[in-house]
Structures are given as structure tokens and as C-alpha cells.
């Protein structure tokens, strides 16, 4: 773990991976909720956590343990967000082949996984969801599509995600949902925020 200044009131914590990032994010948000840490924003990414609006950046380093170990399961304090999905994606058969199963097997694995929002990025409302084991990591498409429809449920590497708006993308498409992932009239606008637990349910 390395801590670097990122401006007069911001620090960047560099970590070995998403599990350590999740642990750091949970710890830091907990400290802020208890009033032990002042930070305007705590922003996790794949291997970093950015804290902005920190009056005393040096104090943050003293608050962090040297070994950050994530909880094996979500702590139950967050409400589970359910995303109803129709599993009819263009790449569903390719994912089934990569996983050594059939379409029903992909659906069973995906709906049977308790995902966690590791971080957000790429586009407003796009959450990178972890939870699939290494056996079910899949490569990106060799050639990205020029347009992936909003609401598309997809996989890439260790992540699952849902495209909040239509955009180019190279993820493996396995389904679609009608859930609104990003809505400026909602508070917060993003349906999926870091630390949240997510479950996918097959549309009846």
C-alpha cells in the first residue's frame, strides 16, 4: 500500500487489487460515518482510493492498518439491489462455451452470485461488479461493438456490469434489463454505488 498526495487536500491510496480497495473503502467510509475522518469524497477505482477534501492528509495514513483484508461477505448493512434481467444476449452462447456449460448454466451462475460494486467509471452510472470466481472470468470481445444498447448486462475479465446508456463497448453481452441505472432526478442519480450488494434475477 502506498499513499501519495494528489493536491493540497487530496490523497491517493494505491493498493494491490479490488479486494484491498473494497476493504479500504469500507474502512474509510465507516470512519467518516463515525466522524473520525473528514473527507468530501471517497472514490474507489480498480487499484486506488482517492480521498478529496481532506484537511489533514497525513492523518489518513495513520488511520489505515498495514494489512487491509476485505470481509468475506457483505456486512449486511446495505440493502441488496435486485436487477431483473432477460438473458438473451448476443454473446450468451460464447460465454457458455467459455464456462463449459449451456445457456441455463450461465444464467444459474450469474443469478446465483452475490455481486458487490467495487467501483464506478467509464460512464455515469456504470458500476464494476465483482463476485465471479476466476473460473468464470471472460475476455473482452476481440473487436468492440460500436453501439451497445442501454440496459445491457455484460461480462469482461473479473467484472459484470450493466451499460447505463447506449455506448461503444467490448464486453460479452449476456442479457438486458429495464432498470434505470442513472437518473438525474434520483438521489443519488446512480442506482449502483460502491459497496452495494447486487443480485440478478431472471425475468419471468
**Strand order through the sheet with 81-85:** 81-85, 197-202, 115-120, 127-130, 159-162, 152-156, 172-176
CB burial of residue 65 (10 Å; 0-12, 13-18, 19+): exposed
- Angle at CA 116, nearest 5°, toward 122 and 188? 60
Q: What is the pLDDT of residue 70?
A: 53
| Confidence (pLDDT) at 77 | 54
Residue 73 lies inside a defined structural domain of this protein: no
Of 58, 49, 36, 38, residue with least CA distance to 1: 49
Note whether 108 and 41 are same-domain residues.
no
Residue-range definition of the domain harbouring residue 12: 2-63
Q: What is the pLDDT of residue 76?
A: 46
pLDDT of residue 5: 82
What pLDDT is attached to residue 74?
A: 47
Residue that terminates a domain, selected from 63, 89, 108: 63
Q: Kindly state whether residues 104 and 17 are assigned to the same domain.
A: no
Q: Tell me, what's the pLDDT at 31? A: 85
In the listed set 10, 29, 63, which residue is the last one of a domain according to the structure? 63
Instruction: For the chain, list residues with pLDDT below 70.
Output: 65-78
Please give the pLDDT value at position 79: 76
Q: According to the model, what pLDDT value does residue 112 have?
A: 97
For 127-171, write each residue's pLDDT tens digit: 999 999 999 999 999 999 999 999 999 999 999 999 999 999 999
> Is 125 contained in some domain?
yes
Domain membership flag for residue 156: yes
**CATH assignment at residue 140:** 2.40.100.10
Q: How many domains does the chain have?
A: 2
Amino acid at each position: 500500500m502506498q499513499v501519495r498526495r494528489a493536491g493540497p487536500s487530496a490523497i491517493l491510496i494505491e493498493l494491490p487489487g479490488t479486494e484491498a480497495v473494497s476493504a479500504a473503502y469500507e474502512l474509510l467510509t465507516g470512519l467518516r460515518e463515525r466522524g473520525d475522518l473528514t473527507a468530501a469524497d471517497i472514490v474507489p477505482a480498480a487499484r486506488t482510493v482517492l480521498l478529496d477534501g481532506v484537511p489533514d492528509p497525513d492523518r489518513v495514513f495513520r488511520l489505515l492498518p498495514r494489512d487491509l483484508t476485505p470481509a468475506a461477505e457483505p456486512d449486511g448493512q446495505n440493502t441488496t439491489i435486485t436487477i431483473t434481467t432477460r438473458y438473451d444476449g448476443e454473446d450468451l452462447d460464447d460465454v457458455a462455451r467459455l464456462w463449459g456449460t449451456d445457456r441455463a448454466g450461465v444464467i444459474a451462475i450469474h443469478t446465483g452470485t452475490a455481486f458487490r460494486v467495487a467501483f464506478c467509471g467509464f460512464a455515469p452510472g456504470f458500476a464494476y461488479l465483482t463476485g465471479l470466481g476466476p473460473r468464470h472470468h471472460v475476455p473482452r470481445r476481440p473487436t468492440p461493438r460500436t453501439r451497445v444498447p442501454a440496459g445491457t448486462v455484460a461480462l469482461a475479465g473479473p467484472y459484470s456490469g450493466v451499460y447505463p446508456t447506449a455506448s461503444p463497448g467490448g464486453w460479452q453481452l449476456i442479457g438486458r434489463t429495464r432498470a434505470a441505472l442513472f437518473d438525474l432526478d434520483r438521489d443519488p442519480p446512480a442506482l449502483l454505488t460502491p459497496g452495494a450488494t447486487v443480485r440478478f434475477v431472471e425475468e419471468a
